[in-house]
A = this chain, B = another copy of it.
Amino acid sequence: MTETRTSLKALYKKNEQETLKDFFKFLRFESISSEEEYKEPVLACAKWLKNYISNIGFKTELWETAGHPIIFASNLSAGPDKPILLIYNHYDVQPVDPLELWESPPFEPTIKNGEIVARGAQDNKGQCFYVLQALKLLLERDGTLPVNIKLCIEGEEETGSEALSKILPTKKTDLAADYLAIVDLGIPKMEKPALTLGVRGIVTFDLTVQGSNTDLHSGQHGGVTYNPIHALVEILAKLRDKDGAITIPEFYDDVLPLKPEERSQITLDFDLQDYKTTFGATPSGGEKKYNPNERAWTRPTLEINGISGGYTGKGFKTVIPAKASAKLSCRLVPAQDPYKIAQLVCNHIRSLAPDGIDIEIAIRPGVGSAVRSDVNSKIIQAFSKAYKDVFQIETGYIFQGGSIPIIQELAEASGASVALLGLGLPGDKIHAPNEHFGIERIEKGSLIIARALELLSG
Protein backbone atom coordinates (compact mmCIF):
# COMPACT_ATOMS: atom_id res chain seq x y z
CA MET A 1 0.00 0.00 0.00
CA THR A 2 2.71 2.41 1.06
CA GLU A 3 4.70 1.36 -1.96
CA THR A 4 1.81 2.15 -4.32
CA ARG A 5 1.24 5.55 -2.77
CA THR A 6 4.90 6.38 -2.98
CA SER A 7 4.96 5.33 -6.54
CA LEU A 8 1.97 7.50 -7.50
CA LYS A 9 3.46 10.38 -5.57
CA ALA A 10 6.74 9.97 -7.42
CA LEU A 11 4.89 9.84 -10.70
CA TYR A 12 2.95 12.98 -9.72
CA LYS A 13 6.20 14.76 -8.92
CA LYS A 14 7.69 13.73 -12.24
CA ASN A 15 4.64 15.15 -14.07
CA GLU A 16 4.10 18.18 -11.85
CA GLN A 17 5.39 20.93 -14.15
CA GLU A 18 3.40 19.61 -17.10
CA THR A 19 0.34 19.21 -14.85
CA LEU A 20 0.53 22.83 -13.71
CA LYS A 21 1.01 23.98 -17.29
CA ASP A 22 -2.17 22.12 -18.29
CA PHE A 23 -4.01 23.41 -15.23
CA PHE A 24 -3.10 27.00 -16.17
CA LYS A 25 -4.54 26.42 -19.64
CA PHE A 26 -7.78 25.24 -18.00
CA LEU A 27 -7.86 28.34 -15.75
CA ARG A 28 -7.33 30.77 -18.63
CA PHE A 29 -10.77 30.03 -20.11
CA GLU A 30 -13.20 32.75 -19.03
CA SER A 31 -15.91 30.19 -18.36
CA ILE A 32 -18.34 32.49 -16.53
CA SER A 33 -21.66 30.70 -16.91
CA SER A 34 -23.94 33.48 -15.64
CA GLU A 35 -23.14 36.05 -18.30
CA GLU A 36 -24.37 35.66 -21.86
CA GLU A 37 -21.31 37.35 -23.36
CA TYR A 38 -19.08 34.55 -22.06
CA LYS A 39 -20.94 31.81 -23.97
CA GLU A 40 -17.99 31.32 -26.33
CA PRO A 41 -15.23 30.94 -23.73
CA VAL A 42 -17.49 28.58 -21.76
CA LEU A 43 -17.86 26.40 -24.84
CA ALA A 44 -14.14 26.61 -25.64
CA CYS A 45 -13.39 25.51 -22.08
CA ALA A 46 -15.74 22.52 -22.38
CA LYS A 47 -14.16 21.43 -25.67
CA TRP A 48 -10.64 21.77 -24.32
CA LEU A 49 -11.57 19.75 -21.21
CA LYS A 50 -13.30 17.02 -23.21
CA ASN A 51 -10.18 16.67 -25.32
CA TYR A 52 -7.95 16.60 -22.24
CA ILE A 53 -10.04 13.79 -20.72
CA SER A 54 -9.99 11.82 -23.99
CA ASN A 55 -6.22 11.98 -23.97
CA ILE A 56 -6.12 10.54 -20.43
CA GLY A 57 -7.90 7.42 -21.73
CA PHE A 58 -11.63 8.08 -21.43
CA LYS A 59 -14.48 7.76 -23.85
CA THR A 60 -15.96 11.28 -23.89
CA GLU A 61 -19.17 12.95 -24.97
CA LEU A 62 -20.30 16.57 -25.03
CA TRP A 63 -23.97 16.70 -24.09
CA GLU A 64 -25.47 19.69 -25.83
CA THR A 65 -28.12 21.56 -23.84
CA ALA A 66 -30.16 24.76 -24.12
CA GLY A 67 -27.45 26.33 -21.97
CA HIS A 68 -23.82 25.27 -21.57
CA PRO A 69 -22.72 21.75 -22.54
CA ILE A 70 -22.03 18.90 -20.12
CA ILE A 71 -18.98 16.68 -20.41
CA PHE A 72 -19.71 13.01 -19.85
CA ALA A 73 -16.80 10.57 -19.84
CA SER A 74 -16.33 6.94 -18.89
CA ASN A 75 -13.58 4.39 -18.46
CA LEU A 76 -15.08 1.01 -17.61
CA SER A 77 -11.79 -0.89 -17.90
CA ALA A 78 -12.13 -2.25 -14.35
CA GLY A 79 -14.74 -4.63 -15.69
CA PRO A 80 -18.28 -5.66 -14.70
CA ASP A 81 -17.21 -7.19 -11.38
CA LYS A 82 -16.07 -3.85 -10.09
CA PRO A 83 -18.36 -1.08 -8.90
CA ILE A 84 -18.98 2.12 -10.81
CA LEU A 85 -18.03 5.47 -9.27
CA LEU A 86 -19.58 8.59 -10.80
CA ILE A 87 -17.58 11.73 -10.09
CA TYR A 88 -19.17 15.16 -10.36
CA ASN A 89 -17.33 18.43 -11.01
CA HIS A 90 -18.05 21.68 -12.84
CA TYR A 91 -15.92 23.73 -15.23
CA ASP A 92 -17.89 26.98 -15.00
CA VAL A 93 -16.86 29.79 -12.65
CA GLN A 94 -18.35 32.81 -10.91
CA PRO A 95 -18.16 36.34 -12.35
CA VAL A 96 -15.06 38.31 -11.37
CA ASP A 97 -16.40 41.69 -10.27
CA PRO A 98 -15.27 43.78 -8.49
CA LEU A 99 -12.38 43.44 -10.93
CA GLU A 100 -10.40 46.30 -9.39
CA LEU A 101 -9.83 44.28 -6.21
CA TRP A 102 -7.94 41.50 -8.01
CA GLU A 103 -4.20 41.75 -7.42
CA SER A 104 -3.54 39.82 -10.64
CA PRO A 105 -5.85 39.29 -13.64
CA PRO A 106 -8.50 36.68 -12.72
CA PHE A 107 -7.90 34.62 -15.85
CA GLU A 108 -4.11 34.84 -15.81
CA PRO A 109 -3.11 32.32 -13.13
CA THR A 110 -0.32 33.63 -10.91
CA ILE A 111 1.57 31.71 -8.23
CA LYS A 112 1.89 33.54 -4.91
CA ASN A 113 3.25 31.83 -1.78
CA GLY A 114 2.56 28.36 -3.15
CA GLU A 115 -1.04 29.29 -4.06
CA ILE A 116 -2.40 29.59 -7.58
CA VAL A 117 -4.45 32.80 -7.81
CA ALA A 118 -7.19 32.77 -10.47
CA ARG A 119 -10.97 32.67 -10.80
CA GLY A 120 -11.88 29.00 -10.47
CA ALA A 121 -8.47 28.03 -9.04
CA GLN A 122 -10.39 26.19 -6.33
CA ASP A 123 -14.08 26.37 -7.26
CA ASN A 124 -14.17 24.03 -9.14
CA LYS A 125 -11.44 23.84 -11.77
CA GLY A 126 -8.78 23.03 -9.14
CA GLN A 127 -10.84 20.26 -7.59
CA CYS A 128 -11.80 18.94 -11.01
CA PHE A 129 -8.20 18.94 -12.09
CA TYR A 130 -6.82 16.81 -9.27
CA VAL A 131 -9.58 14.25 -9.95
CA LEU A 132 -8.31 14.07 -13.53
CA GLN A 133 -4.70 13.81 -12.34
CA ALA A 134 -5.60 10.83 -10.15
CA LEU A 135 -7.13 9.06 -13.14
CA LYS A 136 -4.23 10.06 -15.38
CA LEU A 137 -1.63 8.77 -12.89
CA LEU A 138 -3.41 5.42 -12.43
CA LEU A 139 -3.89 4.91 -16.16
CA GLU A 140 -0.32 5.95 -16.89
CA ARG A 141 1.05 3.48 -14.35
CA ASP A 142 -1.41 0.59 -14.64
CA GLY A 143 -3.13 1.05 -17.99
CA THR A 144 -6.41 0.42 -16.16
CA LEU A 145 -8.43 1.74 -13.20
CA PRO A 146 -9.30 -0.05 -9.90
CA VAL A 147 -13.01 0.70 -10.34
CA ASN A 148 -15.15 1.77 -13.26
CA ILE A 149 -15.28 5.55 -13.51
CA LYS A 150 -17.84 7.90 -14.98
CA LEU A 151 -17.31 11.65 -15.01
CA CYS A 152 -20.05 14.23 -15.18
CA ILE A 153 -18.60 17.75 -15.47
CA GLU A 154 -21.20 20.43 -15.98
CA GLY A 155 -20.99 24.09 -16.99
CA GLU A 156 -23.84 25.68 -15.05
CA GLU A 157 -23.20 24.93 -11.40
CA GLU A 158 -22.74 28.60 -10.58
CA THR A 159 -26.10 29.46 -12.13
CA GLY A 160 -28.17 26.60 -10.79
CA SER A 161 -27.44 23.52 -12.98
CA GLU A 162 -30.58 24.02 -15.04
CA ALA A 163 -29.28 22.18 -18.11
CA LEU A 164 -28.04 19.16 -16.16
CA SER A 165 -31.25 19.04 -14.17
CA LYS A 166 -33.29 18.96 -17.38
CA ILE A 167 -31.18 16.32 -19.12
CA LEU A 168 -30.96 13.93 -16.15
CA PRO A 169 -34.20 11.98 -16.80
CA THR A 170 -32.94 11.06 -20.29
CA LYS A 171 -29.45 10.03 -19.12
CA LYS A 172 -30.17 7.58 -16.34
CA THR A 173 -28.49 4.66 -18.12
CA ASP A 174 -25.36 6.66 -18.85
CA LEU A 175 -25.15 7.90 -15.27
CA ALA A 176 -26.07 4.66 -13.47
CA ALA A 177 -23.50 4.09 -10.73
CA ASP A 178 -22.93 2.53 -7.34
CA TYR A 179 -21.25 5.53 -5.83
CA LEU A 180 -21.33 9.24 -6.48
CA ALA A 181 -18.51 11.55 -5.40
CA ILE A 182 -19.26 15.29 -5.43
CA VAL A 183 -15.79 16.84 -5.45
CA ASP A 184 -16.73 20.47 -4.81
CA LEU A 185 -16.32 20.86 -1.07
CA GLY A 186 -13.68 21.56 1.53
CA ILE A 187 -11.97 20.85 4.82
CA PRO A 188 -11.67 23.15 7.85
CA LYS A 189 -7.86 23.39 7.55
CA MET A 190 -4.90 21.34 6.30
CA GLU A 191 -4.36 20.04 9.83
CA LYS A 192 -8.01 18.96 10.06
CA PRO A 193 -8.96 16.85 7.02
CA ALA A 194 -12.65 16.06 7.05
CA LEU A 195 -15.44 14.71 4.91
CA THR A 196 -18.68 16.56 4.50
CA LEU A 197 -21.78 14.71 5.63
CA GLY A 198 -24.26 17.37 4.66
CA VAL A 199 -24.81 20.50 2.60
CA ARG A 200 -27.66 22.96 2.73
CA GLY A 201 -30.36 23.31 0.12
CA ILE A 202 -30.95 26.57 -1.69
CA VAL A 203 -33.62 28.70 -3.31
CA THR A 204 -32.93 32.16 -4.75
CA PHE A 205 -35.11 35.12 -5.64
CA ASP A 206 -35.19 38.30 -7.72
CA LEU A 207 -37.10 41.06 -5.95
CA THR A 208 -38.12 44.39 -7.48
CA VAL A 209 -40.13 47.13 -5.82
CA GLN A 210 -41.63 49.93 -7.88
CA GLY A 211 -43.02 53.28 -6.83
CA SER A 212 -43.69 55.86 -9.55
CA ASN A 213 -43.55 55.19 -13.28
CA THR A 214 -40.40 57.27 -13.74
CA ASP A 215 -37.38 58.42 -11.79
CA LEU A 216 -38.28 61.55 -9.80
CA HIS A 217 -36.37 64.54 -8.45
CA SER A 218 -35.87 64.22 -4.71
CA GLY A 219 -36.40 67.96 -4.28
CA GLN A 220 -39.88 68.04 -5.75
CA HIS A 221 -40.84 64.58 -4.59
CA GLY A 222 -38.79 64.00 -1.44
CA GLY A 223 -41.23 63.38 1.39
CA VAL A 224 -44.07 63.09 -1.11
CA THR A 225 -43.71 59.91 -3.16
CA TYR A 226 -42.85 56.61 -1.50
CA ASN A 227 -39.16 56.18 -2.37
CA PRO A 228 -38.86 52.53 -3.51
CA ILE A 229 -35.38 52.29 -1.97
CA HIS A 230 -36.95 53.10 1.39
CA ALA A 231 -39.67 50.54 0.73
CA LEU A 232 -37.03 47.96 -0.16
CA VAL A 233 -34.88 48.55 2.92
CA GLU A 234 -37.94 48.55 5.16
CA ILE A 235 -39.20 45.26 3.70
CA LEU A 236 -35.77 43.61 3.86
CA ALA A 237 -35.08 44.85 7.39
CA LYS A 238 -38.35 43.26 8.53
CA LEU A 239 -37.23 39.80 7.37
CA ARG A 240 -34.98 39.29 10.40
CA ASP A 241 -35.60 40.16 14.03
CA LYS A 242 -33.12 41.74 16.43
CA ASP A 243 -31.77 38.30 17.35
CA GLY A 244 -31.05 37.44 13.74
CA ALA A 245 -33.98 35.00 13.41
CA ILE A 246 -35.97 35.04 10.17
CA THR A 247 -39.45 36.44 10.74
CA ILE A 248 -41.23 34.78 7.82
CA PRO A 249 -44.15 32.81 9.27
CA GLU A 250 -43.65 29.00 9.18
CA PHE A 251 -40.07 29.41 7.89
CA TYR A 252 -38.59 27.21 10.65
CA ASP A 253 -41.57 24.83 10.98
CA ASP A 254 -39.93 21.84 9.29
CA VAL A 255 -36.41 22.34 10.64
CA LEU A 256 -35.33 19.30 12.65
CA PRO A 257 -33.01 19.71 15.62
CA LEU A 258 -29.63 18.07 15.13
CA LYS A 259 -29.83 14.41 16.20
CA PRO A 260 -27.49 13.35 19.02
CA GLU A 261 -25.62 10.96 16.69
CA GLU A 262 -25.21 13.70 14.10
CA ARG A 263 -23.95 16.04 16.76
CA SER A 264 -21.44 13.44 17.94
CA GLN A 265 -20.06 12.98 14.40
CA ILE A 266 -19.19 16.61 13.88
CA THR A 267 -17.17 19.21 15.65
CA LEU A 268 -19.09 22.37 16.34
CA ASP A 269 -16.02 24.05 17.82
CA PHE A 270 -15.53 27.36 16.14
CA ASP A 271 -12.15 29.09 16.05
CA LEU A 272 -13.21 32.69 16.64
CA GLN A 273 -9.72 34.16 16.48
CA ASP A 274 -8.96 32.33 13.25
CA TYR A 275 -12.17 33.64 11.71
CA LYS A 276 -11.37 37.20 12.76
CA THR A 277 -7.84 36.96 11.40
CA THR A 278 -8.92 35.45 8.09
CA PHE A 279 -11.98 37.58 7.39
CA GLY A 280 -11.37 40.72 9.44
CA ALA A 281 -14.74 40.54 11.16
CA THR A 282 -16.52 38.77 13.99
CA PRO A 283 -19.05 36.10 12.95
CA SER A 284 -21.90 38.26 14.27
CA GLY A 285 -24.55 37.52 11.65
CA GLY A 286 -27.48 35.12 11.78
CA GLU A 287 -29.31 33.65 14.74
CA LYS A 288 -27.63 34.77 17.94
CA LYS A 289 -28.70 31.70 19.94
CA TYR A 290 -26.67 29.24 17.84
CA ASN A 291 -22.90 28.94 17.55
CA PRO A 292 -21.43 29.92 14.16
CA ASN A 293 -20.92 26.35 12.93
CA GLU A 294 -24.44 25.36 13.97
CA ARG A 295 -25.72 28.39 12.07
CA ALA A 296 -23.70 27.57 8.96
CA TRP A 297 -24.42 23.83 8.90
CA THR A 298 -27.72 23.16 10.57
CA ARG A 299 -29.83 26.32 10.32
CA PRO A 300 -31.61 27.83 7.32
CA THR A 301 -30.80 31.40 6.31
CA LEU A 302 -32.09 34.28 4.27
CA GLU A 303 -29.34 36.48 2.83
CA ILE A 304 -29.41 39.52 0.59
CA ASN A 305 -26.83 38.81 -2.11
CA GLY A 306 -27.29 42.00 -4.06
CA ILE A 307 -29.10 45.30 -3.81
CA SER A 308 -29.38 48.20 -6.23
CA GLY A 309 -31.41 51.32 -6.81
CA GLY A 310 -31.01 54.98 -7.67
CA TYR A 311 -27.70 56.58 -8.52
CA THR A 312 -24.62 54.75 -7.35
CA GLY A 313 -21.87 56.24 -9.54
CA LYS A 314 -19.37 58.91 -8.65
CA GLY A 315 -20.72 62.18 -7.37
CA PHE A 316 -24.38 62.43 -6.49
CA LYS A 317 -27.76 62.46 -8.19
CA THR A 318 -30.74 63.72 -6.23
CA VAL A 319 -33.03 61.10 -7.67
CA ILE A 320 -35.87 59.05 -6.30
CA PRO A 321 -35.77 56.06 -8.62
CA ALA A 322 -38.87 54.38 -10.05
CA LYS A 323 -37.56 50.97 -8.96
CA ALA A 324 -35.14 49.29 -6.59
CA SER A 325 -34.08 45.65 -6.63
CA ALA A 326 -32.51 42.94 -4.54
CA LYS A 327 -31.33 39.38 -5.00
CA LEU A 328 -32.07 37.04 -2.10
CA SER A 329 -31.17 33.48 -1.24
CA CYS A 330 -32.30 31.01 1.37
CA ARG A 331 -30.08 28.16 2.49
CA LEU A 332 -32.14 25.21 3.66
CA VAL A 333 -31.66 22.22 5.94
CA PRO A 334 -32.98 18.64 5.67
CA ALA A 335 -36.78 18.28 5.76
CA GLN A 336 -37.31 21.80 4.44
CA ASP A 337 -39.04 21.64 1.06
CA PRO A 338 -37.43 24.37 -1.07
CA TYR A 339 -40.63 25.07 -3.02
CA LYS A 340 -42.69 25.38 0.13
CA ILE A 341 -40.13 27.78 1.64
CA ALA A 342 -40.02 29.75 -1.62
CA GLN A 343 -43.77 30.30 -1.45
CA LEU A 344 -43.59 31.39 2.18
CA VAL A 345 -40.89 33.93 1.32
CA CYS A 346 -42.75 35.31 -1.72
CA ASN A 347 -46.07 35.57 0.10
CA HIS A 348 -44.56 37.26 3.13
CA ILE A 349 -42.57 39.79 1.12
CA ARG A 350 -45.66 40.64 -0.95
CA SER A 351 -47.61 41.17 2.25
CA LEU A 352 -45.09 43.80 3.37
CA ALA A 353 -45.68 46.15 0.40
CA PRO A 354 -46.55 49.62 1.69
CA ASP A 355 -49.27 51.73 0.06
CA GLY A 356 -48.01 53.12 -3.25
CA ILE A 357 -45.43 50.39 -3.83
CA ASP A 358 -45.74 47.40 -6.18
CA ILE A 359 -43.74 44.25 -5.56
CA GLU A 360 -42.49 41.67 -8.01
CA ILE A 361 -40.73 38.61 -6.66
CA ALA A 362 -39.64 35.63 -8.75
CA ILE A 363 -38.11 32.29 -7.78
CA ARG A 364 -34.97 31.70 -9.81
CA PRO A 365 -33.77 28.42 -11.36
CA GLY A 366 -31.40 26.29 -9.30
CA VAL A 367 -33.66 25.19 -6.47
CA GLY A 368 -32.24 22.28 -4.45
CA SER A 369 -32.83 20.34 -1.24
CA ALA A 370 -30.35 19.83 1.55
CA VAL A 371 -28.36 16.56 1.45
CA ARG A 372 -27.03 14.31 4.24
CA SER A 373 -24.73 11.30 3.71
CA ASP A 374 -24.67 8.08 5.73
CA VAL A 375 -21.40 7.97 7.64
CA ASN A 376 -21.43 4.15 7.55
CA SER A 377 -21.74 3.82 3.77
CA LYS A 378 -18.89 2.15 1.88
CA ILE A 379 -18.09 5.28 -0.10
CA ILE A 380 -17.80 7.48 3.00
CA GLN A 381 -15.61 4.90 4.70
CA ALA A 382 -13.37 4.56 1.61
CA PHE A 383 -12.83 8.32 1.29
CA SER A 384 -12.39 8.64 5.05
CA LYS A 385 -9.53 6.17 4.95
CA ALA A 386 -8.08 7.73 1.77
CA TYR A 387 -7.92 11.16 3.45
CA LYS A 388 -6.33 9.58 6.53
CA ASP A 389 -3.74 7.71 4.48
CA VAL A 390 -2.71 10.79 2.51
CA PHE A 391 -2.88 13.36 5.32
CA GLN A 392 -1.62 10.93 7.97
CA ILE A 393 -4.20 12.50 10.28
CA GLU A 394 -7.53 11.03 11.43
CA THR A 395 -10.37 12.19 9.16
CA GLY A 396 -13.14 14.20 10.78
CA TYR A 397 -16.71 14.85 9.67
CA ILE A 398 -18.28 18.22 9.08
CA PHE A 399 -21.31 19.73 7.53
CA GLN A 400 -20.98 22.61 5.12
CA GLY A 401 -23.18 25.61 4.67
CA GLY A 402 -22.98 25.75 0.88
CA SER A 403 -25.40 24.17 -1.56
CA ILE A 404 -25.03 22.09 -4.66
CA PRO A 405 -28.64 21.97 -5.84
CA ILE A 406 -27.99 19.21 -8.35
CA ILE A 407 -26.70 16.62 -5.84
CA GLN A 408 -30.04 15.19 -4.83
CA GLU A 409 -31.21 14.94 -8.44
CA LEU A 410 -27.93 13.37 -9.53
CA ALA A 411 -28.08 10.85 -6.69
CA GLU A 412 -31.60 9.88 -7.74
CA ALA A 413 -30.77 9.67 -11.47
CA SER A 414 -27.65 7.54 -10.88
CA GLY A 415 -29.06 5.45 -8.05
CA ALA A 416 -25.75 5.95 -6.24
CA SER A 417 -24.88 6.60 -2.61
CA VAL A 418 -23.21 9.95 -2.18
CA ALA A 419 -19.98 11.29 -0.74
CA LEU A 420 -19.34 15.04 -0.55
CA LEU A 421 -15.69 15.91 -0.47
CA GLY A 422 -12.96 18.23 -1.57
CA LEU A 423 -9.92 20.18 -0.44
CA GLY A 424 -11.29 23.72 -0.35
CA LEU A 425 -10.17 25.85 2.59
CA PRO A 426 -12.22 28.64 4.20
CA GLY A 427 -9.66 31.26 3.12
CA ASP A 428 -9.67 30.35 -0.59
CA LYS A 429 -11.79 33.41 -1.49
CA ILE A 430 -14.06 31.46 -3.81
CA HIS A 431 -16.66 33.73 -5.46
CA ALA A 432 -14.49 36.70 -4.44
CA PRO A 433 -11.50 38.59 -5.82
CA ASN A 434 -8.14 36.78 -5.59
CA GLU A 435 -9.56 33.24 -5.38
CA HIS A 436 -6.69 30.80 -4.85
CA PHE A 437 -5.83 27.12 -4.42
CA GLY A 438 -2.61 25.56 -3.08
CA ILE A 439 -0.29 23.64 -5.39
CA GLU A 440 0.13 21.14 -2.54
CA ARG A 441 -3.57 20.43 -2.62
CA ILE A 442 -3.51 19.39 -6.27
CA GLU A 443 -1.00 16.72 -5.33
CA LYS A 444 -2.87 15.64 -2.17
CA GLY A 445 -6.18 15.62 -4.04
CA SER A 446 -4.78 13.40 -6.79
CA LEU A 447 -3.42 10.92 -4.26
CA ILE A 448 -6.65 10.88 -2.19
CA ILE A 449 -8.83 10.18 -5.21
CA ALA A 450 -6.47 7.46 -6.44
CA ARG A 451 -6.34 5.87 -2.99
CA ALA A 452 -10.13 5.95 -2.60
CA LEU A 453 -10.50 4.16 -5.95
CA GLU A 454 -8.25 1.39 -4.72
CA LEU A 455 -10.24 1.10 -1.48
CA LEU A 456 -13.58 1.01 -3.31
CA SER A 457 -12.21 -1.75 -5.51
CA GLY A 458 -11.57 -4.06 -2.58
Contacts and interface: CB of A to CB of B under 8 A. Distances in A.
A281 B356 contact: yes
Interface string A193-230: 00000011010100000011111111111111111011
Contact of A227 (B224, B304, B356): B304
A11 interface: no
A331 B217 contact: no
Interface in A250-300: 279-287, 292, 295-296, 299-300
B315 A233 contact: no
A375 to B, nearest CB: 21
A58 B110 CA distance: 63
A238 interface: yes
Interface stretch (A13-21, A164-172, A319-327, A337-345): A319-327
Q: Which of A160, A318, A434 has the most CB of B within 10 A?
A: A318
Given A214-B432, A217-B432, A355-B282, A317 B306 contact: yes
A55 to B, nearest CB: 32
Interface string A78-116: 000000000000000011011000000000000000000
A141 to B, nearest CB: 36
Given A97-B313, A316-B364, A318-B431, A227 B308 contact: no
A402 interface: yes
A223 B310 contact: no
Nearest to A231: B285
B95 A224 contact: no
Residue with the highest number of chain B CB atoms closer than 10 Å, among A218, A219, A355, A357: A219
A414 interface: no
A426 interface: yes
B305 A402 contact: no
Contacts of A213: 279-281
Kindly report how many copies of this chain are found in the complex they form together.
2
Binding site secondary structure of chain A: loop
A36 B314 CA distance: 9
A192 B284 CA distance: 56
A400 B224 contact: no
B281 A226 contact: yes
Contacts of A281: 211-213, 225-226, 356-357
Interface string A394-431: 00000011110000000000000000000000100111
A355 B305 contact: no
A35 B313 contact: yes
A311 interface: yes
Most buried by B among A225, A227, A286: A225
A402 B219 contact: yes
Contacts of A155: none
Interface in A419-453: 426, 429-434
A77 to B, nearest CB: 36
Nearest to A309: B307
A1 interface: no
A282 to B, nearest CB: 4
B401 A215 contact: no
Contacts of A227: 285, 303-304
A310 B314 contact: no
A351 interface: no
B401 A222 contact: yes
A371 interface: no
B316 A366 contact: yes
Task: Report, nearest first, the 5 A-B pairs whose CB atoms are least far apart.
Answer: A219-B402, A34-B315, A213-B280, A284-B356, A223-B286
Given A237-B237, A308-B308, 8 more contacts: A95-B311, A160-B316, A200-B219, A214-B280, A223-B286, A223-B295, A229-B304, A306-B309
11 contacts: A211-B285, A212-B281, A215-B429, A215-B432, A216-B432, A225-B284, A303-B320, A305-B317, A306-B311, A308-B308, A312-B327
